[in-house]
Amino acid sequence: AQSVTQLGSHVSVSEGALVLLRCNYSSSVPPYLFWYVQYPNQGLQLLLKYTSAATLVKGINGFEAEFKKSETSFHLTKPSAHMSDAAEYFCAVSHPNFNKFYFGSGTKLNVKP
Amino acid sequence: DVKVTQSSRYLVKRTGEKVFLECVQDMDHENMFWYRQDPGLGLRLIYFSYDVKMKEKGDIPEGYSVSREKKERFSLILESASTNQTSMYLCASSTSGTLYEQYFGPGTRLTVT
């Protein structure tokens, strides 16, 4: 079975500080992992995805994530937060059949001036 | 660019009404999905479809049905709306295969009074 746990429903950082959003997964098969971002009153937009190639994945807007099999983690980072990064972030793992996704409960990122 | 559109951004219905939410994608994707999004619960899959006239129950199908008569269109039906179905509804589509991300529409915020 697949599942995703996002630690911290709310994270607050200062502008220019490191962003770290945590995601742990469980999967009975090699996982495919995704991070999505949702801005207020919008749908979800893909930030990046891991599909068993390089373990360090770079995405849009300066975000990256590292797949660590030993820790079953796929944490999202950005070296320097910008005000425009304020949004909700979702980690997801895909199921091998029918591209079914399992989403975490989301982490709201607040960026303080 | 992939485009997923949803028929309404905001919808207010009365208890007991039949409600139709429509989703259209323009990229010839095989898979289409309906989720509901509630604070603290992330996205929960209601139904998905991997082909025309095919449907599979997701994690919370009770109180919902779906229809997919054409490849580009996937409808979510609330046969008799109830207040506990007040939520944000998100449609998504993807091509076949687990490597491929889901593309989301902007969402429909449904309020049942």
Q: Among residues of chain B, what percentage have pLDDT more than 70?
A: 96
Judge: A41–B107 Cβ closer than 8 Å, yes or no.
yes
As a whole number, the mean pLDDT across chain A is 90
Q: Which member of B40, B43, B107 has the closest CB to residue A9?
A: B40
In the predicted structure, residue B62 carries a pLDDT above the cut 70? yes
Distances from the Cα of A99 to the Cα of B7, B31, B62, B67, B100, angstroms: 24, 8, 22, 19, 7
Q: Are strands B56-57 and B108-112 parallel, antiparallel or unpaired?
A: unpaired
According to DSSP, the residues that pair with B36 across neighbouring strands are: B44, B89
Query: What mean pLDDT comes out for the span A101-110?
Result: 92
In the predicted structure, residue B87 carries a pLDDT above the cut 90? yes
- Note the pLDDT of residue B99: 63
In the predicted structure, residue B63 carries a pLDDT above the cut 90? yes
Between residues A111 and B99, the one the model is more confident about: A111
Cα(A36)–Cα(A50) distance, integer angstroms: 12
In the predicted structure, residue A41 carries a pLDDT above the cut 90? no
In the predicted structure, residue B42 carries a pLDDT above the cut 90? no
In the predicted structure, residue A98 carries a pLDDT above the cut 60? no
| Residue B105 at interface with chain A, using a CB cutoff of 8 Å | yes
Structure tokens at B61: 């199908």
Residues of chain B numbered 36-65 and touching chain A (CB < 8 Å): 40-45, 48, 50, 56, 58
Run of H or E residues at A69: none
pLDDT band at A42 (very low <50, low <70, confident <90, very high): confident
- Give chain B positions within 8 Å (CB) of A95: 98
> Which residue on chain A is closest to B95 by alpha carbon?
A99
Query: What mean pLDDT comes out for the span A10-36?
Result: 91
Q: Among residues of chain A, what percentage have pLDDT more than 90?
A: 69
> Which residue on chain A is closest to B98 by alpha carbon?
A99
pLDDT digits (tens, 9 = 90+) for A50-81: 887 788 999 999 999 999 988 999 999 999 99
Judge: A95–B98 Cβ closer than 8 Å, yes or no.
yes
* Mean pLDDT comparison of A109-113, B40-44, B52-56, highest-scoring range: A109-113
| Residue A46 at interface with chain B, using a CB cutoff of 8 Å | yes
pLDDT band at A82 (very low <50, low <70, confident <90, very high): very high
